Amino acid sequence: MTSPAVILWNPVLPPVIMLLCGIVFAWLAWRTYRDCRIERRKRLLFWSLRMAAFLILCFILAQPSRRDTRRESEKPALAVLVDISASMDDNPTRAPQTRAVRAASFLRSKTIKEAEKDFRVLYFAVGNDLEEGFDPSSDLSFHAPRTFLLNALQRLNARLRAENLAGIILLSDGLDQSMLDLDSLAFTAPLLIPELEDPAPIADSEQSDFAITDLAYPKRVIVKWDTRIELSVQRKTGSGGAAFPVHLRQNGEIIKSEQVEFADNERFRKVAFTITPEQIGSQLYEVAIEPENDQDSSNNRKELLIEVTDAKQRVLYLEGVPRWEFKFLKRALLAEKSYQLNAFVQGGDGAFINFDEQSGLAGGALPTLNAENLKAYKAIIIGDMPGSAIDADAAKQIQDFVDKGGGLLIIGAARAYGRDGFISNEHIQAMMPAKSAPDATMREGRFMVDFTAAGRAVPALASLADEMRLPPILSLWAPVETGAFTTVVLTSSDNTPVLVTRRFGQGRVAMLLSDSLWRWQMGSGGDNGGKGIYGRFVTQLLTWLCPSQDERDDSGLMQILLADGEVDLRARMVIGLGGLKQSGVSSVTCRIRTPGDKELAIPMAPARLESEVGLSQPTDGFRCDFVPDEVGPYRVSVTSPDGTQEAGTVFLARFPEHERSGQPANRSLLQRLASMSNGNYLPWAEQQDLLAKLDRTPREIESASEYPIWNHWLALAALITLFCLEWWLRRRADMV
């Protein structure tokens, strides 16, 4: 209903002044035409036209506006808050309908349809956050990893504070994880809660249900360190004594077993396993219980993912007959706490002696150079060894090691670099930054060395290049031919290469063309914490050969980036790809093998990567979003467009903790919410009476709209018309 309009005045000048101006203007206008030789009737006409124009100007200066008042009747609001967490799909009482099914059926029920006649029904969903405006007619997806119910109620009350809120219908199981104090909540409307889960029947004491509940383990451990995995086994139903095995599996094989025994009416038992991971990387384990005649076997197993890392950079050093280079290189690496050296040197009888940092001096043959053994090392150093010392199979394994990201340092001499040296092997030769010319020999003399421009750009060596002048060397293998992919780091004064490097696959290779670098250690004063020039040079060169995880982004080594190795089921995650430095690449393909052995291909687009993939500093890369819909391990792989690099990882999707835990609905919390808000908590059979006591009285709302009328086009048109008419009449009367 609209009330009669009201005209409001807001004059620019006070009305008295406008009146006085009008009197003066009227007298002046009459005086203008009084002495003109025209008829009296025409004088009055001209005077009237000017006064009419003056009145229009006064109307404009008065700035009138019109106010319309409208009264409307607004229906009261009724909010519907639906819990969309994964626990709504749980059915611990084995009822014919789950909580999710009942919630969905209530949204389509006659109660809601009738409520829409008397209320403005507003729909909200709660999971990790409060969501507004979902469509109740569509199929609901109960996928949120957790429920922050009290947080959502607090935000909902603030959101609807200005509304004529009649009540809030809450469709939830009450399994809240918000950790808020219930007494701190203030309710602006009653909570109306239908019981989505009937009370559990008294369990048959002859039937038992055992489940794995709490599972505690470290997410990241050190290789070959003892690691403890603890779990709790809960008896949910049943009584009496029980005993059954608990297994720890890896790759489908049982690696540990414990027997757990329950006394009569005992509810919980703790089980612990101690393992010693032998391999570096993401290791997938599974714990499982095997109770007899268990009611629900779906809660009898859980998977866990442990990232196994190496506390030190392990280095394998293979040397020919003993020489000074071996002595000082070994000493430099043993003094560096971040490296663990495993060295083999050939004795006079051809047998090898092992200098292991952990075991000390021990005799023995060379280790078998296969993928399994080389996986434990970050870099390999090969000294002055003849070609007969390493066979073709071992050379191929070393090539594969470098291709997959390992580092290789060659510090040979005449035996290694000569015609029959180990670099003549086709697999080793394919990786070499330089090749010996037919007349190459170890030249002796005094050679000044310095970093090249490319060498100064290597971050690991930049401090040496800026701080000091390098001592001379007394030998140099020359001439050599460098390859197209070679970077010369050090040269002599006549530009002969001394240290050359290159990338091979995902790894790096460095080749030192002198056997007298060890002399840098002689007579060099201690600096940088007691290290000499030689020690700093060797350790920093190895740092470049085997970059740390933080340095890999700038190294050209492709890697898959995840914020966490374990994600909640149906939770959106970001898969990132860093280290791909190939130009002109606008998209790559991420391949994901699901627990059900399906392979998915997802395009990855260029993006700026940061905390969403676990990085502390932003970097350029590629990303794609993924939502796991199956529980279990997912294997991710990405191949570079040119096929030269490949990266892979694994992550584990699991049911959200405390959500799919098999817990019954938190009836006590829901009843307290209804009581504190003066609402109702009704059994499912009485759901039709849920809205019976709500106030359906509409609210009267008065709204006023005001708009100016002084600037209407009619006023300006009338003013122009008057001026034009006066001019035309004056022209006819010969007064212009």
CATH code: domain of residue 297: 2.60.40.10
CA distances to 87, 88, 143, 146, 667 from 175, in Å: 8, 9, 14, 9, 9
Q: Do residue 420 and residue 489 come from a single domain?
A: yes
Contact, 579 vs 664, CB < 8 A? no
Buried b (16+ CB within 10 A) or exposed e, 390-402: beeebbbbbbbbb
Q: Token digits for 204? A: 């048959």
- Give 548's pLDDT tier (boundaries 50, 70, 90): low
Nearest to 483 by CA among 438, 429, 442, 440: 429
Nearest to 169 by CA among 660, 688, 698, 665: 688
Q: Do residue 428 and residue 462 come from a single domain?
A: yes
SS3 call for 621: strand
> Can the peptide bond before residue 245 be classed as cis, meaning omega within 30 degrees of 0?
no
Q: What is the pLDDT, as a whole number, of residue 692?
A: 86
Query: Any idea what the CATH number is for the domain that residue 352 is in?
Result: 3.40.50.880
Q: Do residue 618 and residue 504 come from a single domain?
A: no
Contact, 670 vs 83, CB < 8 A? no
pLDDT at 349 over 90: no
pLDDT at 36 over 80: no
pLDDT at 248 over 60: yes
Give me the helix-helix angle, 110-118 and 99-107, nearest 10°: 40
Please list, in sequence order, all residues whose beta carbon lies within 8 angstroms of the beta carbon of residue 665, skipping any fewer than 6 positions away.
Answer: 99, 173, 174, 175, 195, 196, 197
Among 309, 329, 357, where does a domain finish?
309
> Beta strands 473-482 and 227-237: pairing type?
unpaired
Q: How many CB atoms lie within 10 A of CB 692?
A: 11
Angle at 709 between CA 705 and CA 712, to 5 degrees: 130
- Give 420's pLDDT tier (boundaries 50, 70, 90): confident
Range of the domain at 151: 76-197+664-697
Q: What is the pLDDT, as a whole number, of residue 360?
A: 44
Whether 687 is in a domain gets the answer yes
Q: Do residue 601 and residue 486 come from a single domain?
A: no
Q: Do residue 487 and residue 636 come from a single domain?
A: no
Q: Do residue 297 and residue 174 come from a single domain?
A: no
How many domains does the structure of the chain reveal?
A: 5
Mean pLDDT value of segment 64-75: 87
Mean pLDDT value of segment 143-162: 86
- Between 110-114, 237-241, 541-545, 581-585, the lowest mean confidence (pLDDT) is in 581-585
- Indicate the burial class of 183 (C-beta count within 10 angstroms; 0-12, 13-18, 19 or more): exposed
DSSP 388: G
Buried b (16+ CB within 10 A) or exposed e, 521-560: beebeeeeeebbbbbbbbbbbbbbbbbeeeebbebebbbb
DSSP 138: S
SS3 call for 65: strand
- Residue 259: φ, ψ to 5°: -100, 125
Q: Do residue 61 and residue 80 come from a single domain?
A: no
Q: Do residue 182 and residue 257 come from a single domain?
A: no
Q: What is the pLDDT, as a whole number, of residue 524?
A: 54
- Give 670's pLDDT tier (boundaries 50, 70, 90): very high
Bridge partners for 70 per DSSP? 2, 703
Dihedral over Cα of 173, 174, 179, 180: its sign: positive
